[in-house]
Amino acid sequence: MKKGGMLLMLMMAGVLPAWAQCAMCRTTLENNVSNGDIGIAAGINTGILYLFFAPYLAIGVIAFFWYRTSKRNAQAQLAKRTLAG
């Protein structure tokens, strides 16, 4: 239970700076768009999408290699059983 509480506190501490950053980005975007400059807004939106998809892409690559390795190991085990039996 002690480890779970520490993990929860660590996760909560990591979220607080993210809220402050979002407010700053929003203010910057609102000021630039109201002045007619939408280029910065498009760049920040692209960056947000990049940060959103990067973890999912990394998990997908790891899952693919894990699946491929486990499939090869299963085939090797089957080949061993076939030769031994």
> How far out from the chain centre does Cα 21 lie?
18
Rounded Cα gap, residues 45 and 32, in angstroms: 13
Which tens digit of pLDDT belongs to each residue from 2-43? 777 888 887 777 665 555 567 777 788 788 888 887 787 778
Contact between residue 59 and residue 51 where contact means Cβ atoms under 8 Å apart: no
User: What is the pLDDT, as a whole number, of residue 17?
Assistant: 58
* Average pLDDT for 78-85: 83
Rounded Cα gap, residues 1 and 25, in angstroms: 37
Q: Which amino acid is at 14?
A: G
CB-hemisphere CA count at 13 Å for 82? 6
User: What is the pLDDT, as a whole number, of residue 14?
Assistant: 67
User: What is the pLDDT, as a whole number, of residue 9?
Assistant: 80
pTM (two decimals) = 0.53
As a dihedral over the C-alpha atoms of residue 42, residue 45, residue 46, residue 48, rounded to 10 degrees, the angle is 160
User: What is the pLDDT, as a whole number, of residue 2?
Assistant: 78
